[in-house]
Amino acid sequence: MATSKAAKAARPTYRCTECGWTATKWVGRCGECQAWGTVDVAGSDRSAGRTAPAAVSRPAVPIGEVRSEDARSVTSGIPELDRVLGGGVVPGAVLLMAGEPGVGKSTLLLEAAACWARAGRRVLYVSGEESAAQVRLRAERTGAITDELYLAAETDLGALLTHVDQVKPSLLIVDSVQTIGSTDVEGVPGGVTQVREVAAAVIGRAKTDHIATLLVGHVTKDGSVAGPRVLEHLVDVVLQFEGDRTSRLRLLRAVKNRFGPVDEIGCFDLTGTGIVEVPDPTGLFVSRHEQPVAGTCVTVTMEGRRPLLAEVQSLTVPATAGGNPRRTSSGLDGSRVAMILAVLTKHCGLQVQQSDVYTASVGGARLTEPSVDLATAIALASAVRDKPCPSDLVAIGEVGLAGEVRPVHELAPRLREAARIGFKRAIVPAGSDLSGLDGVITVAAVGDVATAIRAALS
C-alpha cells in the first residue's frame, strides 16, 4: 500500500505550455486549446514550499541613474533592416526572424553579419542546418568573407555557449533555434521543451553579456513560428520574412518590436549574388501600360509608415454554362472582394452573377488594408463595363456595406507619394483632411462608391 501511494505521488503532471491545461498522462493534443505538441511534463508541485531569497546580480538603483546609453541602437549596415528595427540593433536585444524555407533568411543574416564585421565588430555565426563549408560557399558567392566573421557548425547548446565564451562576439546569429538541442533536457531538438530551454539559455547570455542576438525560426504551414508560443514572448523583436518563390521580391516585417514601430516593412531583391536592398519599391507593384487597359486601378497602401503604390487588376468573363461562377483572388482578401461585388451589385447595378471574376495585385504584393476597397471596386466596374480607368488616377478609400466610402488614415503621405511618382488625380473619401495638399494633386472627394465609379470612368 505504501509503495502504491509513493508511486502515485511521484506520478508526473502534464501541462500545456500554451493555455496551462493539465492532465495525468501525456497526450499529443491539448484538451483545452486543441494545440498539437504543447503538452509537456510540468515541474514538481511544491505548493507547500516557498522560494528562498537569493543573492542579486546587481543592486536596484533609482531609474534616473540607469545608463540609457547601454540601450542605444547600432546600425546593422543594412538601411532597410535598420528601418524595420526602428534605427538599428540594440546591444543585448534578441531578435527572432521567421520565414518559409528557401525565402532567403540565411542569406539576409549572412549579409547582415558581413556588414557588421566590416565595421570592425566581431560576429559569431552558428549554423545548425549547414556545415561550415556550405556556409563558406554561400559567403563567397555573396561577398561576405571578412576577418571578424567567425563561423561554427554546432547543434549542441553547451558547445554553442562555449563558442560564445571563446569568440566574445558583439553579434550572435543562430541558424536555426529549432536545430539546437541540450543534453540536459529530454526531447529531440525542435520540441517544445528543447526550444524553450535553448531560447532561455541564449537570451540569458545575450542579456548578461550585452550581445545582440539574431535567432532564425521555422514556421508552420499556417505561417506562424514553430515551437512554443512563449518563444515570441521572450524575445524583444519578431521579424517575418516573406516572399513568393516565383518572385525575387522579399518583404521583411516587424510584428513585434520593443524598440521601435510595429508593422514596419523593408524591401529586398533576392539575386543570384545575394540579397539587395530596394529603397524605393513603388515601381515593383505598378505596371505601366502604353494604352489604358480596362479592369485596372492604382491605389496607395501604407506598409508601416511607408506609402506604397499598388495596382489592382480585375477580369470578368462569362461563366461556363451550367457551372457555378468562380471568384478567384491573388494578393487580395477574397472575403473583401466578395463583399465589394455584393455592394456593386446592390448599389451600382453591376451584373456579375453569371460571370467568373478574377482579381489580383501586381508584383506579388499582399493588399489587405481596407483602403484598397475603392480601387478594387473601380477595377471591377471597369472590367464589367470594359471601360479603362485613366492612367494618371489613384483611388483610396474603404467601402462600406451601405455603399458609402469611408475615410482612411495617413491620406496626405499617400497622395504625396502618388504625386511623386507622376499621378495627377486622386479619388478620396469625402470629409478627408486635405490640408497642405493644394497644388500637389487634383483631388475628387466622393461620398459613395457609385459616385466614385462615375468620376473614374466618365
Same domain, 31 and 174: no
Last residue of one domain, picked from the residues 230, 260, 279? 279
The answer as to whether 403 is a domain residue is yes
Whether residue 288 sits in one domain with residue 265:
no
Angle, helices 334-347/373-385, rounded to nearest 10 degrees: 60
What's the CA gap between 399 and 380, in Å, rounded?
Answer: 13
Give the domain range for residue 328. 284-457
Report the CATH number at residue 326. 3.30.230.10
Looking at 279, 306, 338, the residue that finishes a domain is 279
CATH code assigned at 215: 3.40.50.300
> Residue 322: which pLDDT band, with cuts at 50, 70 and 90?
low
Task: Kindly state whether residues 124 and 19 are assigned to the same domain.
Answer: no
Computed over every residue of the chain, the mean pLDDT equals 87
Q: Give yes or no: residues 35 and 135 share one domain.
A: no
Per-residue pLDDT tens over the stretch 71-117: 788 999 999 999 899 889 999 999 999 988 888 899 999 999 999 99
Burial 112-135 (b: 16+ CB within 10 A, else e): bbbbbbeeebbbbbbbbbeeeeeb
Report yes or no on 176 lying in a domain. Answer: yes
Q: Note whether 345 and 275 are same-domain residues.
A: no
Judgement on whether residues 445 and 380 belong to the same structural domain of the protein:
yes
Say yes or no: 291 and 273 in one domain. no
59 part of a folded domain: no
Q: Which phi-psi region, left, alpha or beta, contains residue 450 (left: φ > 0; alpha: ψ -120 to 50)?
A: alpha
Return d(Cα 335, Cα 139) in angstroms, integer.
44
What is this structure's pTM?
0.74
User: What pLDDT score does 227 carry?
Assistant: 63
Determine, yes or no, domain membership for 53: no
Confirm whether 5 is domain-assigned: no
Q: Are 113 and 125 in contact (CB under 8 A)?
A: yes
Q: Tell me, yes or no, whether 295 and 197 share the same domain.
A: no
Are residue 220 and residue 303 in the same domain, yes or no?
Answer: no
Based on the fold, state whether residues 301 and 434 are members of the same structural domain: yes
As a whole-number percent, the residues of the chain with pLDDT over 70 amount to: 92
Is the per-residue pLDDT at 304 higher than 80? no
Closest CA to 17 of 336, 231, 255, 289: 231
Q: CB count, 10 Å around CB of 392?
A: 15
* Nearest C-alpha neighbor of 406 from the set 377, 380, 363, 374: 374
Residue after which a domain boundary falls, among 216, 247, 279: 279
Residue 50's pLDDT is 59
Would you say residue 292 lies in a domain? Answer: yes
Q: What CA–CA distance (Å, rounded) separates 294 from 457?
A: 10
Domain contains 34? yes
pLDDT of residue 178 exceeding 70: yes
Asked whether residue 417 falls in the same domain as residue 445, the answer is yes
How many domains would you assign to the chain?
Answer: 3
pLDDT at residue 222, as a whole number:
64
pLDDT in tens, 379-392: 999 999 999 999 89
Q: Is residue 54 part of a domain?
A: no
The pLDDT > 90 percentage for the chain reads: 51
**Beta strand ranges found along 284-400 (DSSP E):** 296-303, 306-318, 327-330, 355-361, 393-395, 398-399
Band of residue 223 on the pLDDT scale cut at 50, 70, 90 = low
Give the SS3 label for residue 142: helix
pLDDT-derived band of residue 45, with 50, 70 and 90 as boundaries? very low
27 and 78, same domain (yes or no): no
Predicted pLDDT at 10: 58
pLDDT band at residue 399 under the 50/70/90 scheme: very high
